[in-house]
Structure 1
Amino acid sequence: MLREIYDVPADRIAIIYHGAPDVPFLDPAYYKDQFGAEGRPLILTFGLLSPNKGIEYAIEAMAEVAREFPEALYFVVGATHPEVRKRYGESYRLSLEERVKRLGIEENVVFHNRYVSLEELIKFLVAADIFLAPYLVREQAVSGTITYALATGKAIVSTPSWYAEEMLAEGRGILVPFRDAGAMARALLGLLRDEAKRDRMRKAAYEFGRQMVWREVAGQYAEAFERALVLHARAGKRPFRAFKLHTLPEVDLSHLRRLTDGTGVLQHAIYTIPDRRFGYTTDDNARALIVTLLHWDLYGDREIWDLMHTYFSFLHYAQTEGGWFRNLLTYERTFSPEGDSEDAQGRAIWALGHAVASKLPEDLLALSIELFRKALPTWERLSAARALAFAVLGGAYYLEKFPGDTEVKGALQDLAGKLHHAFVAGAKPDWPWPEEVLTYDNARLPQALIVAGRALERREYVERGIEALRWLIEVQTDPHGDHLSLVGNQGWYPRGGERARFDQQPLDAAALVDACREAALITGDPFWWREMERAFAWFLGRNDLGVPLYDFTTGGCYDGLQPTGVNRNQGAESTISWLTSLLLMKRTLRRRTVAERA
C-alpha cells in the first residue's frame, strides 16, 4: 500500500509488527482450573465488544460444535466498547445472550463482561485451546488480539481480514469466510478432533510470534530510528530538533459546574464560592458555550450536554427580537441595561458561529443557526476592535459549515475590512497596532485577521495578522526568563509609555494560545507551536512569579497574577480561559505530531 498508493521508496519502509507480551509456551491445562474449564475444550474471543466483531456468527457456530463436543466452552472476554455503550447501551450484548438462550447453549457460552488486567488476559489466552476471530471487517490492517494469540501460541480460526491473511499464512491458522457460521463450525470441529494438527498450528504460531514480543519490537524500533538518523545525516541535513508540548493535566470541569446553576454561569467567585451578588453575563456564558463545544468535539461525551444546553438557553434568553444580546443578568433574573456592550455582542456571535461549525445534533444546530442569523443585522453596528474581532471569528466558523452563504460572507468581508483598515490606519513603524494602548484580550485581533484571511482568501489580512501577533509576543516576552509576561491591567501599555506588569489576566494567555494555534495552522511554522506552548505554560507557573494559576484541587483558575501572588478568587472568566486553553492543547496533541527541523 505504501509503495503502490503513496509511492514511498522501498528503502524507506520498515515493517515492525504489533507488540505482544513474552509468554512461555505452556499447555492450555495450566490455567484452566482457574476459570472452571478443567478438562474441557476452550475457545476464546477477547476484546471490546461491538457489532463489527461478528460474535453472533461465532455463537451460531458454537451451537453446532456443542452437538459433537457438549463439554466445549466458548469464552467471550471483554466489556462493551464505551462508544457503543454510550450510543446503544448494552443492546448488542443482550442480543447475543438472547441468541445463546434460543440455541440452548447456556452451558457452553460464557460472557466475561469486564475489563481484565494484562496478567489475567494472559491466563485466559494460555488456557484457550483455540482463539477465534469472527470479525466482519476485511479492511483491518492490524489486530492486537490476533497478535496476542500468535505470541502465546494458539491455534487460530479467523475471518480473512488483511491482517489475518498475512499473519495466519503457512499453517499458522485457518481462514473462514465472513459471516459463515457453518464454515466456522467446521474449522473449529476439525481442530477439536485432531489434537496433533492443533499442536502443529500452536507451535507454528508461537515460533512466528517470537518476533512480536515487546523486547524484540522495541529493538526493531530502535534500529529503525538509528537508520533514519544515519540516512538523514548522509543527506547533509541538519539534526532533528524535537519540540514537546507540556504534559497536560486532565480536563476537570468540576469548578465550571460549581459556578453554573440552572440559569447560566455566574461571573464571579469569592475564593472558590460562586458569588451571586454579581449575577451572570452573556460574555461569560458565550465563552462557556465554546468550552462545551470544544469538549464535545474532542471527546463526544454526552455528559457535557447539560452544561451546553444551559449556556444555549442563556444566549437564547439574552437575545432581543432585534438580534442584540443583552449582557448583564442579575441573580434575580432581570437584565441591567448598563451592562450591555459590543464585546458581549461579538462574543455571542463568535460562540454561535463556533456552534454552527461543530458536529452538533440537528436541534442544537438549528438553534445555533437561528440565533446566529438573527444577530446578523447587528453586525453593522459594531465598531470596537475586539467586538469586530469576535464577530469575525464567529463568521469564519459559520462559513466552514456553509461556505456558500453569500449574506454571511458579505458581512464578514465588511467586518474584516474594518478591522484590517484599523490596523493599516493606526499602525506605526514601532507600533504595528490599531490602538494607542495595549489593553485586554489583545491576541484576538490578529487572530481574527488570520482567520478572516483564510476564510476570504485575503493574503494581506493573514500577513498583517502574523506581523501583529509576532510583535505582540515580542513585547510580552520577559527578556531575562524567556517566559510570557503579559500586559497588566493596572495601567496597561500605552505607546511610548511603561508597560504595566500587573495584574496579568488569564484571558490574555488564552487568547495567545488560540491565536498562535491559528498562525501555526496557516503558516506551518513550528515557531507558532512553540509560542502556543509557552502561552499555555503561563497557567502552570512559567510566568513572572513562577507560580501556577491553575488549581489542581478545584479544577478552577485563579483570577490573575498580582505583584504579591495570585488573586485567589476563581471566577468564570479565568476558569473558562484555562479550560479553553487546555482543550485547544489537547486537540493539538491529538491531531498533530509536532516536530521541528532547524
Structure 2
Amino acid sequence: MTATTDQLSTADRARPLAAPAPSFAHLIRMSDDTGLFEHARHAIVRREHGYCTDDVARGLVVTSRQPEPTEEVLRLAERYLAFLTHAQDARGAFHNRLGHDRRWTDEPGLGDWWGRALWGLGTAAARSPATWIREEALVAFGRAATRRSPAPRAMAFAGLGAVEVLRRHPAHSAAAALLADAATTVGTPGPDPEWRWPEQQLTYANAAVAEVVIAASQLRHGGPDLGDGLRMLAWLRDVQLLDGRLSVVPAAGWRRGAARLRHDQQPIEVAAFADACATAATVTGDPGWETGVQQAVGWFLGDNEVGTRMWDPETGGGYDGLTAHGPNLNQGAESTLALISTLQHARSWW
C-alpha cells in the first residue's frame, strides 16, 4: 500500500534535518512474550505471518546497542535472546520461521538468519548492560561461531557479530577465525573502477559486505587490506547518490551492465549503509564518512528522491519501502528496526 506523505519543499531540503531520538514504541507493539512479529498492515501486527529469526536477531542488535536502555527495552532484549537460544540447535544452526502456534516451520540451517543470529548474539555479548544477557549471548555465539555458511551475506552478518565480540573479548579465537573467514568469503573488489565490487550484482544489505572487510582489516593476523573495504564502500556510496541524496539499490537489485532501477528502495539498505559508514569513520578517523550517516538519516526524514518521510512519528514505525509514488505505509519489523538502527547512529555522531 502506498501514499504520498509530508513531502519536503525546496526550502526544507536546504535546511539540515534534525534527527529524533530512536523510538521503541512500535517495536514494543510488534512484540509479545515469544518474540517479534514479522509483518504489519499499517501499524497493526499481522500475527498470522508469525516470527522469524532474521528480525528477532536484528531486534537484539538494536536493543543491545541502545545506550542506557529503559526497563522495557531491556526486557525486549532478554525476550529476543531467549527466542534465539530456542531457535538454535545443538550444532549451532538456527531455525528461521516460527508460526503463531509456536511451531517451527523449517529445519535448522545456515542461511542469512544464522548470520544475523550471530550478529545479534555478538552485539548482546559485547554491549548489553545486563550481565546475564551478556553471558548467555556469549555461550550461544560460541556454539554458532564454529559453523560456516557458503553464502557471502550470511558470512558478512556473522562477521559483524564476531567484530562485536572481539571489541569486548579481543582474545576470543573463534570470533577472530569467523571474522577472517567472513572477509575471505566476501572477497575483494575487482580492478574495474566502474564496478568496485566482489560480485557481479548488488542485491540486499550491500554495505554490510564492505563493512565486514573494513572491520576485518583490524585483525592482528590474516586480516584483509583496509583499502579494499574502503574502496568498496566509497564506490557503493558514489553509485547510490543522486543529486547529493541517498538513492539506494532497490529490492530488484542491480546487475553489472544492466539498467539501474530506482524503486522499490528498502530501509534495510539505508541502515546497512549507515552502519558501514559509522564503522569506516571509527576505523579510519576520517570524519568524511560521517556524511554517509547523515545521508542515511536524511533518507528516513524525507531527504530522498521522492521527498517524503519514511517513518510515522505517531507510532514510531518505519515504512516498508520507497516507491516512485511514495512510501509503502506498512510498518513491519525489518523497516522499523532499520529506522531505529539508523537513528541510533545519529544520536551517537551528533
> Scaled by the length of structure 2, what TM-score is found?
0.91
Q: What are the residue-to-residue correspondences of 1:160-309 with 2, within 5 Å?
A: 246-295=17-66, 298-309=67-78
Picking from 313, 319, 327, the partner of 1:552 is: 313
What is the CA–CA distance in structure 1 between the aligned matches of 2:104 and 2:32, rounded to whole Å?
17
Q: What are the residue-to-residue correspondences of 1:33-432 with 2, within 5 Å?
A: 246-295=17-66, 298-337=67-106, 342-379=111-148, 382-419=149-186, 422-424=187-189, 428-432=192-196
What is the CA–CA distance in structure 2 between the aligned matches of 1:458 and 1:469, rounded to whole Å?
21
What is the CA–CA distance in structure 2 between the aligned matches of 1:376 and 1:531, rounded to whole Å?
31
Equivalent pair of 1:328/1:339 in contact (CA under 8 Å): no
What is the CA–CA distance in structure 2 between the aligned matches of 1:578 and 1:323, rounded to whole Å?
30
**Cα separation, partners in 2 of 1:482 and 1:312, compared to 1, 3 Å:** same
The residue identity in structure 2 corresponding to 1:452 is A
The residue identity in structure 2 corresponding to 1:550 is W
What is the CA–CA distance in structure 1 between the aligned matches of 2:160 and 2:223, rounded to whole Å?
17
What is the CA–CA distance in structure 2 between the aligned matches of 1:498 and 1:540, rounded to whole Å?
28
**Cα separation, partners in 2 of 1:536 and 1:321, compared to 1, 3 Å:** same
Once the two structures are superposed, what CA deviation does each residue of 1:90-147 show, in whole Å capped at 9, x if it has no partner? xxxxxxxxxxxxxxxxxxxxxxxxxxxxxxxxxxxxxxxxxxxxxxxxxxxxxxxxxx
What is the CA–CA distance in structure 2 between the aligned matches of 1:335 and 1:427, rounded to whole Å?
45
Residue in 2 that maps onto 1:465:
229
Equivalent pair of 1:561/1:567 in contact (CA under 8 Å): yes
What is the CA–CA distance in structure 2 between the aligned matches of 1:550 and 1:427, rounded to whole Å?
39
**Cα separation, partners in 2 of 1:415 and 1:556, compared to 1, 3 Å:** same
The residue identity in structure 1 corresponding to 2:330 is N
- CA shift, 1:357, in A, is 1.2
- 3-state SS, counterpart of residue 247 of structure 2: coil
**Cα separation, partners in 2 of 1:571 and 1:407, compared to 1, 3 Å:** closer
What is the CA–CA distance in structure 1 between the aligned matches of 2:23 and 2:94, rounded to whole Å?
29
The residue identity in structure 2 corresponding to 1:324 is A
Equivalent pair of 2:183/2:224 in contact (CA under 8 Å): no
Work out whether 1:536 is the aligned partner of 2:297. yes
- 3-state SS, counterpart of residue 430 of structure 1: coil
Equivalent pair of 1:557/1:574 in contact (CA under 8 Å): yes
What is the CA–CA distance in structure 1 between the aligned matches of 2:153 and 2:296, rounded to whole Å?
20
Equivalent pair of 1:427/1:434 in contact (CA under 8 Å): no
- 3-state SS, counterpart of residue 299 of structure 1: coil
The residue identity in structure 2 corresponding to 1:279 is G
What is the CA–CA distance in structure 1 between the aligned matches of 2:85 and 2:16, rounded to whole Å?
38
What is the CA–CA distance in structure 1 between the aligned matches of 2:134 and 2:107, rounded to whole Å?
31
Once the two structures are superposed, what CA deviation does each residue of 1:560-586 show, in whole Å capped at 9, x if it has no partner? 001211101000000000001111211
**Cα separation, partners in 2 of 1:549 and 1:407, compared to 1, 3 Å:** closer
Equivalent pair of 2:95/2:107 in contact (CA under 8 Å): no
- CA shift, 1:339, in A, is 9.0
Work out whether 1:487 is the aligned partner of 2:249. yes
**Cα separation, partners in 2 of 1:331 and 1:339, compared to 1, 3 Å:** farther
Residue in 1 that maps onto 2:342:
581
Once the two structures are superposed, what CA deviation does each residue of 1:523-566 show, in whole Å capped at 9, x if it has no partner? 22222111210121100111110001011111001100012111
The residue identity in structure 1 corresponding to 2:59 is A
Once the two structures are superposed, what CA deviation does each residue of 1:224-254 show, in whole Å capped at 9, x if it has no partner? xxxxxxxxxxxxxxxxxxxx97422132211
The residue identity in structure 1 corresponding to 2:229 is G
The residue identity in structure 2 corresponding to 1:549 is M
What is the CA–CA distance in structure 1 between the aligned matches of 2:193 and 2:296, rounded to whole Å?
26
The residue identity in structure 2 corresponding to 1:329 is L
- CA shift, 1:519, in A, is 0.8
Equivalent pair of 1:399/1:455 in contact (CA under 8 Å): no
What is the CA–CA distance in structure 2 between the aligned matches of 1:264 and 1:343, rounded to whole Å?
18
Unaligned runs of 5+ in 1: 1-243, 590-598
Note the aligned Cα RMSD (angstroms). Answer: 1.9
Which structure has more relative contact order (CA 8 Å, sep 6+)? It is 2
Once the two structures are superposed, what CA deviation does each residue of 1:25-49 show, in whole Å capped at 9, x if it has no partner? xxxxxxxxxxxxxxxxxxxxxxxxx
Equivalent pair of 2:213/2:229 in contact (CA under 8 Å): yes
- CA shift, 1:464, in A, is 0.7
Equivalent pair of 2:290/2:349 in contact (CA under 8 Å): no
What is the CA–CA distance in structure 1 between the aligned matches of 2:108 and 2:313, rounded to whole Å?
33
How many equivalent residue pairs?
336
Q: What are the residue-to-residue correspondences of 1:582-597 with 2, within 5 Å?
A: 582-589=343-350
Equivalent pair of 2:146/2:174 in contact (CA under 8 Å): no
Unaligned runs of 5+ in 2: 1-14
Identical aligned residues as a percent: 37
- 3-state SS, counterpart of residue 454 of structure 1: coil
Farther off after superposition, 503-512 or 429-438: 429-438
Equivalent pair of 1:551/1:557 in contact (CA under 8 Å): yes
Question: Greater CA radius of gyration, 1 or 2?
Answer: 1
Farther off after superposition, 498-507 or 426-435: 426-435
- 3-state SS, counterpart of residue 157 of structure 2: helix
Q: What are the residue-to-residue correspondences of 1:423-442 with 2, within 5 Å?
A: 423-424=188-189, 428-442=192-206
**Cα separation, partners in 2 of 1:427 and 1:444, compared to 1, 3 Å:** farther
Residue in 2 that maps onto 1:506:
267
- 3-state SS, counterpart of residue 318 of structure 2: coil
